[in-house]
């Protein structure tokens, strides 16, 4: 697994205002990176820029050293997978049919399905634990199950890099953990480079090999969670007074917000 | 083995699609034959076959060869064109209610065609091409207005409705001021009719279809992926902007050429897609079923309009009357399945 | 997020002067009246107008004036009714795109009028008005029900689409009825464009009671509508009888646009455009919104009619076409700025 994804002095935004300014970031290959920041800080914009969804105003996004916008979309899709923020499942589509769409970048225009491709789709369904849901209609599944199906789609795409835009935002806590554990499994077993935008700071700290804190369109801090996530960082990036302690279950940093009430002063 | 589960599911869906297409084709063939045989004078099928083979059969050669045959062929072509245009838009905009006849695009083609005929005195190819240009222009105008900041879909539909209303009043104005016209003939431009079908119309629409339908077919898979959302489709390797533009142009051009030939046959674009989805299932590859469904709709509506009542109604009135109940059905079904429009 | 109120610019305090704007609207209406009587295929100067009205006489000038007065009055009445109906519909549906035309109410009225003419032999306003009202009410109920099906309730998009499809379907049915009856069609095709030149004074009088009831309902439900704008739950929490208020307000709106359609044929966009323009300056308080909209609608329609008479001299462009041509761009502006709907 050697595909690398980096940005070089990337500036991009919507319309005339740049949202991300002069940002240089290298995703550590084969690791899980979580991107955090306050609302509208540019983290989703950054991810979308890396996913080739937004053109760069200046700077470049490099996939294996080549400018991502210079490559044909299908070629990029063979190496870079994306789980967007609000994916839409067409009405009435079954799990198997949806996951099969993940094979698109690898298929020729009017090609027939090969048994090999069926096996890849089946593999993806199994790895995400939704094989027994293969004939179910996606609309009828729970939030957690749906997210697993979309991850299966990305798996069927067989890319070395996977970007996820807020994969856990609309899920119950138990499903959030379910999805993040699944992504960790995939990373450990297949070596997929994963980058995801997460809004829950504690989960982001727990599951990250590498954390990136985005503030006003630039990187405020990045590195291992233990190094990058300090009380000062939380204050600057989130405007939040907090205490950072060690999470007894994982050994990772845990952020305890300090409000005006219910704080012991001893 | 798990792969067999996947393969079995896929085969089931393909089989269903195959059966549906076969059934629709047979229905279409039967209706086509019926429309040639039936009429004020009923000709035996042997006479019809003879005329098709190029022989000269007294009576039948004119009735069947010059009146019924071009009418039936035009019905099939127009129905297929409207159906393809409709399903393309409905899929791209992810909304079954967003078909070109509702969001004002066929109105644009219609007004231009009417303008060319009544004011400029043109006919034939010039009218069709102008209609296409107007249709495409309208579509892009609506698209540009709606797509600022990358937001498509809802806004586009709403703006399209506004444009449709504006263009409809322009149509009314042209009709009202052109009182030298036979009102019956003018009705064609309000609701769509096959009464004046000619071989010229057929030729033009065939050429257009020959050019445009392959484009839509090639982009058919992209169309299926666009249903997953722009971001997901892009992530799967679809050149979203380019595919969308090509699809819009092809779909609008098809609808515009058909409108220039028959007037705006109401609701065919709207109904063909959802009916095809119901029959074939939610897999991609809706273009051929939608084309067949559109053709069946137009042909059967025309037969109903001609023979079921004591007065002959143009095909657009029949399809128009079907639209509201169909919408209700669609919405009830959507509510039951918990989907949304 | 759907907004029916014009949001104040961030940070700026908004001062509203509704009384002043009422005066402006009144002045505009009077000005429109003056223009309407003065202009046409013959231009009549104001002193001549005064002379013709006060003194009478039989010369061409006086005749022109006399023919324009009922027309002007009708335009005022229809414009005011449509504008108020628009306010009501937008308030009841909490939908910035509600308008008698967009919601298919006008086509419903047209269809039943045609049914009345073709099958029941109605040929006077006494008959028309009942048919028009029935059609308007049925179409409104249908569109609202259809637009409420599916997830999310009656969103602006679904209501607009339900209205568009209903309009097309009802128009087809209307055409189906008319085709075998060409004499009716010949009259209908001029009426369907929407114009104020055809009604007689006694027609107007026949319809007045309905308009009066409609206006009364508007006045009655005005303050309730203010609170309904906050959402059904919030309004109920503040003591508003939600269902009853909506029903009364909707009835008022339907009465007004049904009556206007019976008189002048289906005229679109006035009900959409005027409330938005007035809201920009007067705010969303229905107690002011309604009267100012009525005056503005009256002024606008009268002006549109005058424009239609002047621009294509000696022919006329019916006011329904003018309002559609001018109204559609405004409609688009509303969609782009006011609905804030995301795909």
pLDDT tens-place string over residues A70-97? 988 888 999 999 998 888 888 778 898 8
Q: How far is CA A10 from CA A27, A39, A51, A237, in A?
A: 14, 20, 13, 20
DSSP, collapsed to helix, strand or coil, labels residue B119 as: helix
Contact B229 A123 (CB under 8 A): no
Say which residues have a Cβ less than 8 Å from residue C148's Cβ, sequence separation at least 6: C154, C158
Q: Among residues 22-41 of chain A, which lie with CB inside 8 Å of chain B?
A: none
β pairing state of A193-197 and A5-14:
unpaired
Confirm or reject contact between A89 and chain B (CB < 8 A): yes
Q: Minimal CA–CA distance to A30: which of A188, A142, A250, A185? A: A188
The predicted structure's pLDDT at residue C150: 64
Confirm or reject contact between C153 and chain B (CB < 8 A): no
Burial class (CB within 10 angstroms; exposed 0-12, middle 13-18, buried 19+) of B327: buried
Dist CA B285 CA C302 (whole Å): 53
C106 prior amide bond cis, ω within 30: no
**A-B C-beta contacts closer than 8 Å:** 120
- Structure letter (DSSP) for residue A139: G
Contact C189 B154 (CB under 8 A): no
Burial class (CB within 10 angstroms; exposed 0-12, middle 13-18, buried 19+) of A184: middle
Query: For B13, which residue in chain A has the nearest alpha carbon?
Result: A97
Say which residues have a Cβ less than 8 Å from residue B292's Cβ, sequence separation at least 6: B21, B24, B25, B28, B80, B83, B276
Contact C331 B320 (CB under 8 A): no
Q: What ipTM describes this predicted complex?
A: 0.83
Confirm or reject contact between C157 and chain B (CB < 8 A): yes
Return the sign of the alpha-carbon dihedral for residues C212, C213, C218, C224: positive
Average pLDDT over residues B69-91: 92
Question: B327, C162 in Cβ contact below 8 A?
Answer: yes
C174-200 pLDDT per residue, tens: 877 877 777 777 767 666 777 777 667
Dist CA C207 CA C127 (whole Å): 10
Averaged confidence pLDDT in chain A: 88
Confirm or reject contact between C184 and chain B (CB < 8 A): no
Contact B340 C166 (CB under 8 A): no
Average pLDDT over residues B299-328: 85
The CA dihedral of B233, B238, B244, B247, to the nearest 10 degrees, is: -120
B162-179 pLDDT per residue, tens: 778 778 777 777 766 665
Contact A51 B2 (CB under 8 A): no
Confirm or reject contact between A80 and chain B (CB < 8 A): yes
The predicted structure's pLDDT at residue A8: 87
Confirm or reject contact between B18 and chain A (CB < 8 A): no
Confirm or reject contact between C55 and chain B (CB < 8 A): no
- Those chains having 3 or more beta-carbon pairs within 8 angstroms of chain C are B
β pairing state of A218-223 and A80-83:
unpaired
The predicted structure's pLDDT at residue C11: 44
Shortest alpha-carbon distance between residue C56 and chain B (Å)? 35
Residue spans of alpha helices (H) in chain B: 2-37, 45-52, 60, 69-92, 105-115, 125-146, 154-177, 183-191, 199-218, 220-226, 230-235, 240-262, 268-280, 287-307, 315-337
Dist CA C224 CA A143 (whole Å): 39
Q: Which of A205-214, A218-227, C45-54 has the lowest mean pLDDT?
A: C45-54
* Chain C residues with CB-CB distance to B166 below 8 A: 324-325, 327-329
Report the residue from C189, C268, C318 with minimal CB separation from B165.
C268
The H or E element that residue C125 is part of is helix C125-148
Contact A82 B282 (CB under 8 A): no
Contact B313 C150 (CB under 8 A): no
Confirm or reject contact between A105 and chain B (CB < 8 A): yes
Q: pLDDT confidence of A208, banded at 50, 70, 90? A: very high
Report the residue from B154, B166, B334 with minimal CB separation from C157.
B154
Average pLDDT over residues B10-22: 86
Of A102 and B339, the structure prediction assigns the larger pLDDT to A102
Q: Which two tokens stand for residue C337?
A: 């700025």
Dist CA B56 CA B53 (whole Å): 9
Confirm or reject contact between C312 and chain B (CB < 8 A): no
Q: pLDDT confidence of A166, banded at 50, 70, 90? A: very high
Return the sign of the alpha-carbon dihedral for residues A177, A179, A180, A181: positive
The predicted structure's pLDDT at residue B188: 66
Query: For A92, which residue in chain B has the nearest alpha carbon?
Result: B282
Phi-psi region of B283 (alpha: psi -120 to 50; beta: other; left: phi over 0): beta
* Chain B residues with CB-CB distance to A154 below 8 A: 235
Q: pLDDT confidence of C4, banded at 50, 70, 90? A: very low
Query: For A77, which residue in chain B has the nearest alpha carbon?
Result: B237
Average pLDDT over residues B202-227: 89
Contact C169 B320 (CB under 8 A): yes
* Chain A residues with CB-CB distance to B234 below 8 A: 51-53, 73, 82
Dist CA A195 CA A164 (whole Å): 6
Shortest alpha-carbon distance between residue C66 and chain B (Å)? 26
Average pLDDT over residues C26-36: 83
Confirm or reject contact between C99 and chain B (CB < 8 A): no
Q: The tokens 């025309």 sit on which residue? A: B302
Q: Which residues pair with A211 in a beta bridge?
A: A34, A223
Dist CA B196 CA B193 (whole Å): 8
Report the residue from B2, B94, B239 with minimal CB separation from A88.
B94
Confirm or reject contact between B96 and chain A (CB < 8 A): no
Q: How far is CA B177 from CA B115, B119, C177, C315, C328, in A?
A: 11, 10, 22, 9, 21
Dist CA A182 CA A177 (whole Å): 8
Q: Which two tokens stand for residue C243?
A: 């269902």
Burial class (CB within 10 angstroms; exposed 0-12, middle 13-18, buried 19+) of B154: buried
DSSP, collapsed to helix, strand or coil, labels residue C104 as: coil
Which stretch, B149-163, B229-243, B272-286, B312-326, has highest mean pLDDT? B229-243
* Chain B residues with CB-CB distance to A147 below 8 A: none
Q: The tokens 């004002």 sit on which residue? A: B104
Average pLDDT over residues B82-97: 85
* Chain B residues with CB-CB distance to C315 below 8 A: 177
pLDDT for C83 beyond 60: yes
B25-43 pLDDT per residue, tens: 999 999 999 988 888 788 8
Q: Minimal CA–CA distance to B84: which of B224, B212, B238? A: B212
Percent of chain C with pLDDT over 90: 13
Confirm or reject contact between C168 and chain B (CB < 8 A): yes
Dist CA A232 CA A238 (whole Å): 10
pLDDT for C282 beyond 60: yes
Of the residues A12, A71, A84, A133, the best mutation for testing chain B's interface (the one with the most B CB atoms within 10 Å of its CB) is A84
Q: The tokens 């009549």 sit on which residue? A: C44
Average pLDDT over residues C266-277: 84
Q: Minimal CA–CA distance to B5: which of A118, A140, A148? A: A118
Say which residues have a Cβ less than 8 Å from residue B145's Cβ, sequence separation at least 6: B155, B159, C332, C336
Query: For A88, which residue in chain B has the nearest alpha carbon?
Result: B228
Query: For B94, which residue in chain C has the nearest alpha carbon?
Result: C343
DSSP, collapsed to helix, strand or coil, labels residue A83 as: strand
Rg (CA), chain B: 20
β pairing state of A58-63 and A66-67:
antiparallel
Q: Minimal CA–CA distance to C191: which of C86, C114, C127, C136? A: C114
Report the residue from B101, B311, B320 with minimal CB separation from C171.
B320
Query: For C147, which residue in chain B has the nearest alpha carbon?
Result: B331
Which CB contacts under 8 angstroms, 24+ apart, belong to A177-181?
A177/A203, A178/A144, A178/A148, A179/A144, A179/A147, A179/A148, A179/A151, A180/A207
The predicted structure's pLDDT at residue C9: 44
Average pLDDT over residues B61-88: 90
Q: pLDDT confidence of B341, banded at 50, 70, 90? A: very low
pLDDT for A129 beyond 70: yes
**B-C C-beta contacts closer than 8 Å:** 166
Confirm or reject contact between C208 and chain B (CB < 8 A): no
Q: The tokens 């059934």 sit on which residue? A: B23
The predicted structure's pLDDT at residue C57: 65
Shortest alpha-carbon distance between residue B275 and chain A (Å)? 14
Shortest alpha-carbon distance between residue B337 and chain A (Å)? 9
Q: Among residues 252-271 of chain C, which lie with CB inside 8 Å of chain B?
A: 268-269
Say which residues have a Cβ less than 8 Å from residue B57's Cβ, sequence separation at least 6: B47, B50, B51, B64
Burial state string for B110-139 with b = 16 or more CB within 10 A and e = fewer than 16: bbbbbbbbbeeebeeeebbbbbbebbbbbb
């Amino acid at each position: 697994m050697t595909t690398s994804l980096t940005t070089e002095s990337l500036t991009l935004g919507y319309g005339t205002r740049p949202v991300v300014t002069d940002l240089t970031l290298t995703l550590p290959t084969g690791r899980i990176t979580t991107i955090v920041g306050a609302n509208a800080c540019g983290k989703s914009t950054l991810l979308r820029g890396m996913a080739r969804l937004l053109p760069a105003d200046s700077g470049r996004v490099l996939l294996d050293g080549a400018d991502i916008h210079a490559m044909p979309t299908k070629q990029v899709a063979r190496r870079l997978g994306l789980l967007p923020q609000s994916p839409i499942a067409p009405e009435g589509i079954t799990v198997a049919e949806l996951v099969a769409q993940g094979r698109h970048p690898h298929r020729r225009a009017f090609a027939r399905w090969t048994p090999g491709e069926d096996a890849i789709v089946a593999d993806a369904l199994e790895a995400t634990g939704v094989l027994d849901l293969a004939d179910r209609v996606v609309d009828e599944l729970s939030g957690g199950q749906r997210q697993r199906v979309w991850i299966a789609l990305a798996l069927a795409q067989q890319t070395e890099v996977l970007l996820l835009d807020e994969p856990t935002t609309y899920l119950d806590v138990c499903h959030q953990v379910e999805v993040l554990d699944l992504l960790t499994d995939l990373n450990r077993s297949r070596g997929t480079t994963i980058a995801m935008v997460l809004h829950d700071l504690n989960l982001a700290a727990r599951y990250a090999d590498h954390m990136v804190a985005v503030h006003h369109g630039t990187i405020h801090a990045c590195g291992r969670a233990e190094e990058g996530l300090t009380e000062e960082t939380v204050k600057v990036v989130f405007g939040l007074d907090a205490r950072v302690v060690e999470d007894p279950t994982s050994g990772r940093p845990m952020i305890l917000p300090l409000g005006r009430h219910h704080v012991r002063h001893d | 083995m798990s792969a067999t589960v996947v393969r079995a599911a896929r085969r089931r869906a393909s089989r269903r699609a195959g059966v549906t297409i076969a059934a629709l084709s047979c229905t279409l063939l039967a209706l086509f034959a019926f429309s040639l045989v039936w009429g004020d004078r009923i000709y035996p099928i042997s006479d019809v076959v003879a005329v098709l083979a190029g022989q000269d059969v007294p009576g039948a050669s004119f009735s069947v060869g010059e009146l019924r045959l071009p009418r039936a062929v035009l019905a099939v072509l127009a129905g297929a064109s409207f159906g393809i245009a409709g399903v393309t838009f409905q899929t791209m905009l992810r909304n079954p209610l967003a078909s070109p006849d509702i969001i004002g695009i066929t109105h644009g083609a219609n007004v231009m065609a009417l303008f060319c005929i009544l004011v400029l005195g043109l006919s034939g190819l010039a009218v069709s091409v102008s209609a296409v240009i107007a249709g495409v222009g309208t579509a892009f105008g609506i698209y540009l207005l709606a797509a600022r900041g990358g937001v498509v879909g809802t806004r586009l539909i709403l703006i399209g409705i506004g444009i449709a209303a504006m263009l409809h009043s322009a149509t009314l104005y042209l009709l009202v001021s052109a009182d030298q016209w036979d009102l019956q003939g003018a009705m064609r431009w309000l609701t769509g009719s096959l009464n004046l079908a000619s071989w010229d119309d057929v030729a033009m629409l065939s050429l257009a279809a020959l050019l445009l339908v392959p484009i839509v077919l090639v982009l058919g898979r992209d169309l299926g992926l666009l249903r997953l959302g722009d971001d997901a489709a892009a992530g799967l390797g679809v050149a979203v902007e380019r595919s969308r533009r090509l699809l819009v142009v092809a779909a609008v051009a098809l609808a515009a050429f058909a409108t220039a030939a028959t007037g705006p046959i109401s609701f065919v674009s709207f109904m063909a897609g959802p009916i095809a989805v119901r029959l074939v299932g939610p897999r991609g590859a809706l273009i051929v079923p939608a084309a067949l469904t559109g053709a069946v709709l137009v042909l059967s509506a025309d037969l109903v309009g001609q023979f079921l009542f004591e007065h002959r109604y143009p095909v657009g009135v029949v399809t128009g009357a079907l639209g509201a109940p169909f919408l209700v059905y669609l919405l009830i079904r959507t509510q039951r399945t918990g989907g949304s429009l | 997020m759907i907004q029916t109120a014009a949001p104040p610019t961030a940070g700026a305090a908004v001062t509203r002067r509704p009384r002043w704007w009422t005066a402006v609207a009144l002045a505009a209406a009077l000005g429109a009246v003056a223009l309407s009587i003065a202009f046409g295929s013959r231009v009549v100067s104001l002193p001549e107008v005064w002379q013709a009205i006060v003194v009478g006489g039989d010369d061409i000038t006086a005749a022109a004036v006399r023919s324009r007065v009922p027309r002007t009055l009708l335009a005022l009445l229809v414009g005011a009714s449509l504008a108020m109906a628009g306010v009501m519909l937008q308030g009841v549906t909490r939908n910035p795109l509600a308008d008698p035309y967009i919601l298919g109410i006008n086509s419903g009225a047209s269809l039943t009028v045609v049914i009345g003419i073709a099958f029941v032999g109605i040929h006077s306003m006494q008959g028309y008005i009942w048919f028009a009202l029935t059609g308007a009410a049925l179409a409104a109920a249908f569109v609202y029900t259809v637009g409420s099906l599916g997830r999310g309730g009656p969103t602006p998009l679904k209501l607009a689409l339900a209205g568009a499809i209903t309009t097309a379907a009802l128009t087809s049915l209307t055409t189906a009825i008319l085709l075998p009856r060409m004499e009716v069609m010949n009259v209908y095709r001029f009426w369907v464009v929407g114009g104020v030149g055809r009604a007689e004074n006694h027609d107007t009088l026949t319809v007045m009671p309905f308009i009066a009831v409609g206006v009364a309902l508007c006045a009655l439900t005005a303050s309730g509508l203010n609170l309904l704008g906050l959402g059904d739950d919030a309004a109920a929490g503040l003591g508003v009888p939600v269902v009853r208020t909506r029903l009364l307000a909707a009835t008022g709106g339907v009465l007004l646009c049904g009556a206007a359609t019976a008189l002048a044929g289906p005229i679109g966009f006035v009900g959409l455009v005027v409330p938005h323009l007035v809201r920009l300056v007067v705010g969303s308080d229905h107690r002011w919104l309604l009267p100012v909209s009525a005056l503005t609608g009256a002024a606008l329609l009268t002006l549109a009619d005058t424009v239609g008479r002047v621009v294509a001299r000696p022919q006329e462009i019916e006011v329904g076409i003018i309002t559609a041509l001018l109204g559609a761009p405004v409609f688009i502006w509303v969609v782009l700025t006011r609905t804030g709907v995301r795909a």
